Structure 1
């Protein structure tokens, strides 16, 4: 086992995305604006997926993989300074979506995929927990769904239509980015 073969994600990369957001007129209803936010989220999810893949391939040991996840989490989930309140809320949504992806990666590295149930089962259980105001349990279920994605299961996004808007919907959005990253782990060009 060695040190990480390369830097998976940098503060500079995250800040470049944020600078683009600061410079552009953002309208969440506009396809180009929505794509920029999705690329910001997918870019971080790709880095997380690569860490787990390198862990599975023996490029990273458990400690190095967990440390690298923590380093990236500190970058991506740190407080963001935006004058524009709407942009701040949009970035907060991206960060919220990624919380679940980080937890899923850590859980997968620590113990592998959950033993029973499907991705959709766990998402439905998370939605039920959220309906009972139990956000911690909801997050745990979403993270377990994520471990199954790392193990190769698919995410049927039809389940998203069943969910009330809230934390679970945000986390499922993050899991969708993770599923995309695992299917096509190509780095997103910051100029896209």
Structure 2
């Protein structure tokens, strides 16, 4: 008698938290206590900006872990999308009632492309050449935000799936970046985060 093939059992979300509201709230509290003003006598980045970089990197890595596990076959498309949307709901939540509101608003705008790109990967079928997409995206003004986001998300999806981007496209004059440029910078950060997950094989429920 043939042995019945063992079905893969998806992990319970209660055992594996990719990102939590508490984690977000702790970051916000920390940032609110820091200074974002430059010291004219120092070449170092303000402590607030240093912590903000760590904050955004933490979000990138947390979300991309979900996609990595999806690509490894540990999550179905529906499960992966649900988990991405759980983090999205936290990140895109109400702004803090403090001077940090404008900064967090910028963070939320930046991460629109992260969540859009991840959903494109889950849906599948993303095609295109990064070089051509960047060239097209640079023709789009801020009044074409929807198309710019769609283009940047396609680039992001290609990068998640192994494409090369985006440092060489960010060289030059970016003193007055468009929305597309801002999203391209985030795609580059996504690429950097993916490098830290190159050998990602965490067991569910551990290390979180």
TM-score band, normalised by shorter chain: 0.7 to 0.9
Higher-helix-fraction structure: 1
Q: How many residues align?
A: 181
List aligned pairs for 1:41-190, cutoff 5 A. Answer: 41-84=56-99, 87-112=100-125, 114-118=126-130, 120-130=131-141, 133-160=143-170, 161=172, 164-185=176-197
Using CA pairs under 8 Å that are at least 6 residues apart, name the structure with larger relative contact order, 1 or 2: 1
In 1: Cα distance, 2:112 partner to 2:72 partner: 24
Q: Report the secondary structure of 1:165's partner residue.
A: coil
User: Whose radius of gyration is greater, 1 or 2?
Assistant: 2
Partner of 1:9: 19
Are 2:28 and 1:18 aligned?
Answer: yes
TM-score by length of 1: 0.85
Segments of structure 2 that go 5 or more residues without pairing to the other structure are: 1-8, 201-208
Segments of structure 1 that go 5 or more residues without pairing to the other structure are: 187-192
